[in-house]
Structure 1
């Protein structure tokens, strides 16, 4: 059986030219990918699949930008999205530099996007994309949190903001792919265990905000693929939804779960052109 590292190399070699930055591919030569966990997931047609992997990477084989973050002079800024019923949604521009986005695309293409998504159960036809989930180094998630901590709600439901999970859920949308209307569920925080490989759950933390990292945009050939946000009253309300266009290096943040200010949303279809790459990470609060 082929090792995860060997499979990653083969997938990287098979990645289409133009999808992955040559510089990013070169920076990831020698990366060591391991399986951190295998959990039940689901396919776009709704069927359950056992043993879907969540990956981790040997930190010492990663480029510095994915271990500790990247230096950038650009400050992150927040712009709120106005929704009926005060659903909580905002965009953080300049959250991370293009170099980090390119490296994440290259790394996830090396891991290999598959139809199955671990730990997720969706009805047939709701999630029409491919996914790969992995654990970033804790230092990386702490760097990203540090860049935008001051822009996030410091408390929600009386619970204190703690940080970001280190589990990154990445999705690739090809021509015609979309994610139909849904509300994101709550998750515990995850990180890498003391063995440097396995996935562990952090006690005392629960997610309350989804952060959707846009890893490419129209300048990379993406056509379509906006994230459409609805009021908490849903599509039957007379208000118009708000479309947020992918912008490389920005993060769309919105309340998830099933509270009054949680946000219904969908990923609109991608048209013929380059695939759209996004990644979800969760903001954690006291449980």
Structure 2
């Protein structure tokens, strides 16, 4: 005949007796009477058909069968308590998920989000970055900061950073390959490309050069990379010239680790847009207000050389 599963309501009682080695001490810890604890242990032993403890004058020690059961029960109780603590912690701590791309996360958001956390220590912030944000993510995210044109998004959006792009390279690269007197000179140098899937949402070297009447595809000596962070790292390592988005690379321009080597192209209808969930909680609204304040601060100070 099939075995009957044990009633698991006794888990914590058995764990306490096995851990403390005493029915009386277990009863005190659990707020029960000693007879109630003793009765529960006898019920478990009856279900299993074995003795789980060796009763002694100064307490109880686990039998071999008791040791086997205790290892499983104690592990289970610890995991249950840990899960309960995690659930309670999450219930007390508001969690906000911000979706954006790698470049914005690395160069703009992460250097600033620590300030928000200091102002709102009770809020837990999760930054979810992807090079290709799936369509419709703004419908499920607490907040999203996405690149595109104004027409790509619904009504409730705020422009954080308009697209302003300038060619940049390291001072060492400029000394070796420069000077670059015009766009045609840039087209002859090794270029760093941000690889994209599908139609690019931002300016590429192809579209930047086309604005000056030049046609050029990727050539020998160029380097393609799949995240903007890698593009900037390659520029810092003197691997070529990158397109620099003002608002993202301002710290490098200010420190001189990157220098502008060409004219700026601006597209005011394109850039990074802040999208917040219409049913925003107080924590999400606080984040939205803080991000907009950061935008106003950026406009006041302006990028280096801007």
**Could you tell me the TM-score, scaled by structure 1's length?**
0.22
- Larger proportion of strand: 1
**Could you tell me the TM-score, scaled by structure 2's length?**
0.21
- Larger proportion of helix: 2
Larger Rg: 2
